[in-house]
Structure 1
Amino acid sequence: MKITILGTGGGARAHSAKLLELGHKVIVGTRDVQTTLARTEPDVMGTPPYRDFLAEHPRVTLMTFGEAAAAADEVVINGIDGHNAVAALSAIADQLQGKVLIDYGVPYLYAHQPVHPWPTPWGIMPKLEPCDTDSLAEQIQRALPRTRVVKSFVTQEQTTVVDPASIAGGDHTMFVAGDDLDAKDQATSLLQAYGWSDILDLGPLVSARGMEMYAHIHSAIGFALGYQFGGHFGLKVVR
């Protein structure tokens, strides 16, 4: 199957490598191909330039966002940062028509000055926007009414999403939410291919609000366990 990943960050790279391993054809979308390939220094998160990843994974095809979305058979994984996702996806709405879009974005707003800041090892904790009464996934669905949006992957580091067995042999929980049952089935099938056995359907896409707001407790747990960014741990729903 031809599966598209929008974005070139660390999470997108984890999905790319795993999907290649599973035998899929992987198309990656970026805003500007030449600009992406021209970078020679790590980004602000310390992620090496994408050209290095591409050299190690020559079967990945790099295209613009629109070209990559159009090339997917059916499934597109959204790895565009949450602050820019709605605008970037809206610009390629026609190419995403009818596709299943699995979104793992967190709607973080980094440039803010809170009255009561939360200091972290890397600066002030970003603000979730939207929060409580809306979610990034719902915003994407409203902007793309002809696309079937599923929220998933967002409660784990993406390196864990593609390799659940690396923690407790895979004995932890992943969530899906969405308004289209077939789209959720597609996301569930992909998770099962990754190795997940405990997948909990949270129901309609409005449940994405809870998944996105979990980002703060995920960070807090990671800090408590000694991780500066993210962390190698799982979340298990015991029932």
Structure 2
Amino acid sequence: MKIAILGTGAGARQHAARLSALGHQVVIGTRDPEATLARTEPDMMGTAPFAAFHATHPGLTLASFAEAAEAGELVINGIDGANAVAALAALPATALAGKVLIDYAVPYVYQQPGDAPNPWPTPWGEMPRLDPVDTDSLAEQIQRALPDTKVVKTFVTQEQETVVNPAEFGGGDHTMFLAGDHDEAKAAARELLNAYGWTDIIDLGPLAAARGLEMYAHFHTALGLALGGRFGVKIVR
């Protein structure tokens, strides 16, 4: 299958490498391919420049967001949450119409006023707030912006390196979640998760449940800080 991954960050690279190893044809989308390849400094998360990753994965194609989305039979959104809606809405109408879009972005707001109330200090600085939150979700905003696209929220409750390789914890016996309004999108996400190695997948229902998945990000961070590293989550029922 030809799969488009929109975004070039650390998470997108995990999916690109794993999907390529599984035999899929992967196209990675970015705002400006030339600028992305020319960048020599790490990004805001400390991730090495994309060119270094691309050099070790020469089979991956880098293209513009529009070119990648047009080419993909299935599309994965790894654009940062603050810019995802605008970037996706700016694509040509034909790029995503009728397609499944798997969204794993978290709507973090990294630029906060210096006098923001009740800051949450972390080893890397103040914890970003979420926007939207409570009464809406990024996934729902994307669905409203792209009414002809089948959006499903998943992958968001784990670091992406664990998403693509669940076996590193408990032999893969932990839980992944998904939410969406389209059965076709959920089936596509489930098939991809199965290929990654997930066996315990819980369907949370309509896309509105993405609110809970996105808000879980703060609890996941708290757990990671308490445990001192990555981990898996198992729902016992």
Q: In structure 2, how many angstroms separate the alpha carbons of the residues matched to 1:42 and 1:124? A: 20
Aligned to 2:3: 3
Correspondence for 2:108: 108
Shift of 1:112: 1.6
Which residue number corresponds to residue 57 of structure 1?
57
Distance (whole Å) between structure 1 residues aligned to residue 124 and residue 45 of structure 2: 10
Does residue 237 (structure 1) correspond to residue 230 (structure 2)? The answer is: no
Please give the per-residue CA displacement for 1:37-61, whole angstroms capped at 9, x wherever unaligned: 1011211212111011111001100
1:83 is paired with a residue whose SS is: coil
Q: Give unmatched runs, 5+ long, in structure 2.
A: none
How far, CA to CA, are the matches of 1:98 and 1:52 in structure 2?
34
Aligned partner (choices 95, 107, 117) of residue 119 of structure 2: 117
Alpha carbons of structure 1 residues 68 and 101: separation in structure 2 relative to 1, 3 Å: same
Match of 2:133 in 1: 131
Q: Please state if 1:19 is matched with 2:19.
A: yes
Counterpart for residue 97 of structure 1:
97
What displacement does 1:142 show? 0.2
Cα distance in 2 for residues equivalent to 1:127 and 1:235: 23
Partner SS, residue 68 of structure 1: helix
Distance 1:168 1:236 in 2: 9
User: What secondary structure does 1:169 align onto?
Assistant: helix
Could you tell me how far 1:225 is from its partner in structure 2? Answer: 1.3
SS in 2 for 1:82: coil
Which of 139, 143, 146 is equivalent to 2:145?
143
Three-state SS of the structure 2 residue aligned to 1:139 is helix
Deviates more, 1:36-45 or 1:190-199: 36-45
Paired letter, 1:172: H
- Give the letter for the 2:3 counterpart: I
Shift of 1:93: 5.0
SS at match of 2:44: coil
For 2:31, give the aligned amino acid.
Answer: R
Contact 1:6 1:77 in 2 (8 A): yes
Compute the displacement of 1:111 (Å): 1.4
2-side partners of 1:46 and 1:120: how far apart? 16
Give the Cα separation in 1 of the matches to 2:46 and 2:132: 27
Aligned equivalents of 1:11 and 1:212: distance in 2?
Answer: 16
TM (norm. structure 1) is: 0.97
**What is the TM-score of this pair, normalised by structure 2?**
0.97
Identity of aligned residues (%): 67
Correspondence for 2:179 among 169, 177, 180: 177
CA distance, structure 2, for counterparts of residue 128 and residue 93 of structure 1: 28
1:200-219 to 2 correspondence within 5 Å?
A: 200-219=202-221
Aligned counterpart, 1:193: 195
Corresponding residue for residue 158 of structure 2: 156
Q: What residue ranges of structure 1 are gaps of 5+ in the alignment? A: none
| Map of 1:70 onto structure 2 | 70
CA distance in 2, matches of 1:217, 1:186: 27
Mapped contact 1:9–1:47 kept (Cα < 8 A):
yes
Structure 2 counterpart of 1:79, which letter? Answer: G
Report if aligned partners of 1:76, 1:100 keep a CA contact under 8 Å in 2.
Answer: yes
Distance in structure 2 (CA, Å) of the matches to 1:109 and 1:43: 16
Q: Cα deviations across residues 19-74 of structure 1 (Å, max 9, x unaligned)? A: 0110000000000001001011211212111011111001100000000000012x
Distance 1:9 1:201 in 2: 27
Contact between 1:93 and 1:144, CA under 8 Å: does it hold in 2? no
